[in-house]
Amino acid sequence: MKNMQAARFIRAGEPLQIDTLPVPEPDTGEILVKVAACGLCGTDLHLAVDGDLQVDHTPITLGHEASGIIVELGPDVAHLNIGDRVAMFPAAFCGVCRFCTIGRESLCENSKVYGMARDGALAEYVTAPARSVIPIPDDVPFDIAAIITDGVSTPYHALSSRGNLAAEECVAVIGCGGLGTHAIMLSKLMGAGKVVAVDIQEEARSRALSHGADFAFDPTETDFVKKMRKQLGRSGVDMALEFVGRANTAELAIRLLDKTGRAVLVGVGMERPALPPLAAFVGREQSVLGSFGMDKKDIADLFELVASGHLDLSDSISARYPLAKANDALQHLARKDVGVVRVVVEP
């Protein structure tokens, strides 16, 4: 049996172990993918560095943003072929629950996230249900395809499926890291009028402006909301996207809204934000929406946008590392002073 290398998570705060393991065999309805690229994101930091999230078991191979080539088909796989270029949905969804059957795979009732509930793609090979992979157009590179599966599709889902962004609407993006930067780019592509970037880091604000934001504000600055309203020439935005996952930033998203505005909360955390007084909130007909992950269609839509030349993600990958340097890649992502959008490991 062939062996492979994999980056294994043991416990939070300790380096990942680069172990030699047998190449996994695809089960019924599964495929074996030779990994070409695997993106890292904040979830990996919460698991491996901070310990804020839990895994089902250890050791486990991390990595949920992946692309590669099919090298083996398991039993009962008829619609795919060896040699196909595919990207993996970040979780193995069941395909039969009430949410999967209507195309809402993000809400699958039996979902198993790679790197949390089953072995992920920080490895040379990974198995995946055939139903949960998406064909990659020839014009889309593997590394771009990998980051699209989460880092780009998550803000796209928030803007389109949850926020229903309409042309010429004003958008605020709170938290301008990888997800927020892509939210700014996508907002402009989808026809937003003005886009406001909100971040405490000067580097993030500068990057936001270079990627299409019309204004950028430091939320700790005195009277910044008043200044934002003056710049916009109106009392708020139509949609505020929150990518931080803290109570104060969720409350800020609501505070930035105009009448009929929607606060779309994407950041995940355990804090409890407060609603404004009901008289103000109800009287202004505002909405607060959760947005979790993405659906399979979101990823396919983005592949087409990249393949057609409408979406350029060539600047989104800040660094690339080999699998043996997976820990260096995590530390690079964890740094707040180097302007990281996305980091990719290429086994």
Please spell the DSSP secondary structure of 37-96, one letter per residue.
EEEE-HHHHIIIII--S--SSSSEE---EEEEEEEEE-TT--S--TT-EEEE-SEE--S-
**Residues 74 and 122: beta-carbon distance below 8 Å:** no
Which pLDDT score, from 0 to 100, does residue 343 have? Answer: 93
pLDDT of residue 51 exceeding 80, the answer is no
pLDDT of residue 96 exceeding 90, the answer is yes
Q: Where are the domains of the chain?
A: 3-151+294-345, 164-290
Which pLDDT score, from 0 to 100, does residue 160 have? Answer: 97
Kindly list the distances between the CA atom of residue 240 and the CA atoms of 167, 219, 287, in Å, as whole numbers in the listed order. 15, 14, 10
Lowest pLDDT segment from 41-50, 79-88, 305-314: 41-50
What is the CATH code for 3-151+294-345? 3.90.180.10
Strand, helix or coil for residue 309: coil
- Other CB atoms closer than 10 Å to residue 289's CB: what's the count? 15
Which pLDDT score, from 0 to 100, does residue 333 have? Answer: 87
Q: Are strands 60-61 and 17-22 parallel, antiparallel or unpaired?
A: unpaired
Which pLDDT score, from 0 to 100, does residue 338 have? Answer: 59
Which pLDDT score, from 0 to 100, does residue 60 have? Answer: 96
> Tens digits of per-residue pLDDT, 260-276?
999 999 998 889 999 99
Single pTM value for the model: 0.94
> Tens digits of per-residue pLDDT, 177-200?
899 999 999 999 999 999 999 999
> Tens digits of per-residue pLDDT, 61-85?
999 999 999 999 999 999 999 999 9
Q: Specify the CATH number for 164-290; select among 3.40.50.720, 3.30.479.30, 3.20.20.70, 3.40.190.10.
A: 3.40.50.720
